[in-house]
A and B are shown apart, each in its own frame.
Chain A
């Protein structure tokens, strides 16, 4: 497949996932659309191109691992897994419902595709690092991918992990920051400014790249570069738009943790499937 065709395919999948995310949130009447829509392109690039995995065998030894440290973005993971055929689409209707595997934040105990239980922010990068370290010291070549949020990066534990991953030479650890500049109380730059973010990671001795997190060409290119990194862990700072793809959600902090109504879902679906937000 040519790169152009690949990118087109990934874009189509991501669009279907966006509809799926909003549909499950509307059904659940709660959840986090903003951060799910900002992260979905990264998730699609990983699950439909970069990672080794078998969706029907979530515990397959040979798989690459994915840790969604910003656990509130989990509808993106559920949507991608449905596209992969890991579980039936109808199960998305059970999101946040009692007795469901589809918890409001990922639960590795009940949901076998979740490599880590996350949702209390700041913890997933340490877990991803531990998986990478465990694999490496057992001589296994599998890689570990992790997504943290920029708001999440205000947590001190993120910087503890930032310190330690280079020490252990974890080039099998590739992390993204879903840098959508949004968090519950406002813009990240206002709530607790992290700038200069790339410089921070560089100073912690990570291989750092900055990309447009909605441009599949750039996402795939960054992953290609990360694959060749001989020693350091990689941090890809993906500049993203909270609520990406839906006009009335984009960059609107109010859509951090509110589900769309049936009417809003209809409008959003028309926009997405109508191709209004062409890339």
Chain B
């Protein structure tokens, strides 16, 4: 299987689901070519609703549609969609609306378009809403599984997807189980915990850091507490790696569990360090902001030296 953007996997899976289940409707805010919801729109136009560049209204309309028994998927860049926070908070969260929010163009990985188009705080925002399930698959097969889970799950789901292609990490869809981290490598005193695009970077870093654990977290909420507890017992150093702010995303979720479980080792949170980002080629941005394989390796080694 060649590399594939998780937004492409989403678009194809959404169409397949739409053919199976007539309750599925799709709304987009003038980005259907980019979010790949247009694949569904082209094949099933009667259940595709172009809402224009008006995301808050799309959020509210989807909530209302869900109250009539439909299962709306609403799609935009994660930055724009989660930017309509109060509408999501009341019309979807507090209302227990069965709406699936799909935020593409996650993080620094989009590159040239720059900070305004990058979802970099979206996980933090969605994780803060009670009742939300927050998913970030790292490759094609787990994206297919995550989209299928979202459609079958009763309740709001935020699905964070990438613009850039990601190599295959898992062998089959069955690797994805909601709420569970997936151990890709085990052994040693260091654990790299990643989600989405950074899983591949963590795997790259692990080649230099072996023996070390590498764990994929396709579910950010609810976070896999049991697995983190196990890692806390076995490791001296845990590093989280995410293409997202270190405030409120994977790093925060892991830190909360480690603090509550009484972790005796050290935690390093790699990701955007509470700052804004910029335009540039994605690999260069990953390097500059410390989430490339090389930078992960360097950060972990530096921390190990200080232990």
Contacts and interface: CB of A to CB of B under 8 A. Distances in A.
Interface of A: 107-109, 115-120, 122-135, 137-138, 140, 156-157, 160-161, 163-164, 168
B298 interface: no
B183 interface: no
Given A131-B65, A164-B52, A164-B61, A118 B90 contact: yes
Which 8 pairs across A and B sit closest by C-beta, in order of nearness? A130-B64, A126-B60, A134-B68, A160-B57, A130-B61, A160-B54, A134-B65, A131-B64
A123 B91 contact: yes
Contacts of B65: 130-131, 133-134
Which interface residue of A127, A130, A161, A163 has the most chain B CB atoms within 10 A?
A130
B67 A126 contact: no
Contact of B64 (A122, A129, A140): A129
B61 A127 contact: yes
Given A126-B59, A164-B61, 18 more contacts: A116-B95, A118-B90, A127-B60, A127-B61, A127-B64, A127-B91, A128-B64, A129-B57, A130-B65, A131-B65, A133-B65, A134-B68, A137-B70, A156-B56, A157-B57, A160-B57, A161-B61, A164-B57
Size bin of chain B's contact surface: 20 to 34
A163 B61 CA distance: 12
B90 A117 contact: yes
A109 B91 contact: no
Contacts of B63: 116, 126-127, 130
Contacts of A107: 94
21 contacts: A108-B95, A115-B67, A116-B95, A117-B90, A120-B89, A123-B90, A125-B60, A126-B57, A127-B60, A127-B61, A128-B64, A131-B65, A132-B64, A133-B61, A133-B64, A133-B65, A134-B66, A138-B69, A157-B57, A161-B61, A164-B57
Interface in B47-90: 47, 49, 51-52, 54, 56-57, 59-70, 86-87, 89-90
A115 to B, nearest CB: 7
A116 B95 CA distance: 7
A117 B95 contact: yes
Interface in B105-122: none
B246 interface: no
Contacts of A120: 86-87, 89-90
Contacts of A117: 90-91, 94-95
Contacts of B148: none
B54 A164 contact: yes
Contacts of A115: 67
Interface string B183-225: 0000000000000000000000000000000000000000000
Given A129-B60, A156-B56, A135 B90 contact: no
A157 B60 contact: yes
A25 B60 CA distance: 30
B95 A109 contact: yes
A108 B91 CA distance: 10
A133 B49 CA distance: 10
B91 to A, nearest CB: 5
Given A116-B95, A118-B90, A119-B90, A160 B67 contact: no
B64 A157 contact: no
A113 to B, nearest CB: 13
Given A109-B95, A164-B51, A164-B52, A123 B60 contact: yes
Given A108-B95, A130-B61, A157-B87, A163 B68 contact: no
B250 interface: no
Contacts of B69: 134, 138
Which interface residue of A118, A124, A160 has the most chain B CB atoms within 10 A?
A160
Contacts of A124: 60
B64 A161 contact: no
Contacts of A129: 57, 60-61, 64
A122 B69 CA distance: 23
Contacts of B64: 116, 126-134
A163 B54 contact: yes
B60 to A, nearest CB: 3
A222 B64 CA distance: 25
A146 to B, nearest CB: 10
B32 to A, nearest CB: 16
A126 B29 CA distance: 14
